[in-house]
Amino acid sequence: MNRTRLFAIVICASIVACIFWVGRKTSAFEPRPAAANAPAKGNAAETNESSLSQAALKRLKPEAASRVAELNAMLNQRGNDKQRTALLEQLSFVYDSLGEYGLSGLYAERLAEATNNTGTWFVAATQFTNALQFAQSESEKGFYISGGKKSARRVLAAEPENLKAKNLLAECIISESDDSIMTVIPMLKAIEAKDSNNRQALHNLAMLSRKSGQTDKAIKRFTKLTKLEPLNAEYHFSLAELLEETGDKKGASDSYKKCLPLMKDGPEKKTIEKKVLELQP
């Protein structure tokens, strides 16, 4: 899913300017496609900073790879604490801007450990959770889940009623295994009870309802989400799929149509245009 960038640390103007010209092989501001297949199996211990960095370098444009290498070299020179903190901030921001959310989370986590700043722990939790959909192996997925849970729990230790952190923790637990789902539902319903319009909780509960075959509940929640966020193409698409599954061709067609003006031109949009035509009476 596409989330709003939450990295709010101010860095020097030269680094900000740099982001506008260094980019990924696809585009600096195009999200990296989620893993098409189930992540390959592997042990969580197999994924670390080195393996993530090596994989990222293969995806980055030469200019971006060079800039990242330069920042890492500066960090490895072991300057004073203030210099290292600034470099950790910069690396997390740069990786976030390049769509490398796992590495952004990793450097935010290191920064949070150095500063014990709750806001930075929240950034780390957010970035690790963002990275889950791009995991290329079970090892990588486990690495992000572990980092996300740790970071979210550090936020909750300081702010027990932080609903956003609770949602992030829930997402990590949901991603961990099907056996963990039942432990998450009470947490999400408690969030919903405090904030009936909480988008993250509604989305997580809708996805869990869909996964467990409770289509009516999933439709109800996605319908509410489309009203709360009418410009969110993902919500309209999920609702359309569910309505199509129930045989409601008109409802599905209407929801698919609402996706179209919210999408960029491309194969996904063409597929939905074709779907709308197929559902016409």
Residue pLDDT, tens place only, 187-201: 889 999 999 999 999
What tokens does 106 get? 């990793």
**pLDDT tens digits for 199-222?**
999 998 998 899 888 999 999 999
The whole-angstrom separation of Cα 281 and Cα 277 is 9
- Rg value, the chain, Cα: 20
The whole-angstrom separation of Cα 249 and Cα 271 is 16
Which range (20-34, 39-53, 54-68, 112-126) has the least confidence? 20-34
The single-letter DSSP state of residue 31 is: P
| pTM (two decimals) | 0.72
In percent, the amount of the chain with pLDDT more than 90 equals 57
Band (22; pLDDT cuts 50, 70, 90): very low
Please state the φ and ψ torsions of residue 231, each to the nearest 5 degrees. Answer: -100, 15
First-to-last C-alpha distance (Å) of the chain: 32
The whole-angstrom separation of Cα 206 and Cα 223 is 10
Please identify which residue in the block is written with the tokens 């890492």: 72
The whole-angstrom separation of Cα 120 and Cα 115 is 8
Which range (18-32, 44-58, 106-120) has the least confidence? 18-32
What tokens does 70 get? 């330069």
Helix (H, G, I), strand (E, B) or coil at 205: helix
pLDDT at position 79 is 65
Query: Residues 133-156: what's their mean pLDDT?
Result: 94
The whole-angstrom separation of Cα 99 and Cα 130 is 10
How many whole angstroms from its chain centre is CA 64? 22
The contacts found for 233-238 with CB under 8 angstroms, 24 or more apart, are 233/259, 233/262, 233/263, 234/1, 234/2, 235/203, 236/262, 237/272, 238/206, 238/210
**pLDDT tens digits for 35-57?**
544 454 444 457 788 889 888 88
The whole-angstrom separation of Cα 119 and Cα 83 is 20
The whole-angstrom separation of Cα 274 and Cα 101 is 33
**pLDDT tens digits for 78-88?**
667 888 899 99
pLDDT at position 128 is 97
Domains of the chain listed by start with CATH number: 1-165 (no CATH), 177-281 (1.25.40.10)
Query: Which tops the pLDDT comparison, 146 or 46?
Result: 146
Q: Among 57-61, 146-150, 201-205, name the most confident range.
A: 146-150
The whole-angstrom separation of Cα 24 and Cα 101 is 13
Range list of H helices, 99-214:
101-115, 118-131, 138-158, 163-176, 181-194, 199-211
pLDDT at position 48 is 83
pLDDT at position 242 is 96
Query: Residues 114-126: what's their mean pLDDT?
Result: 96
pLDDT at position 45 is 53
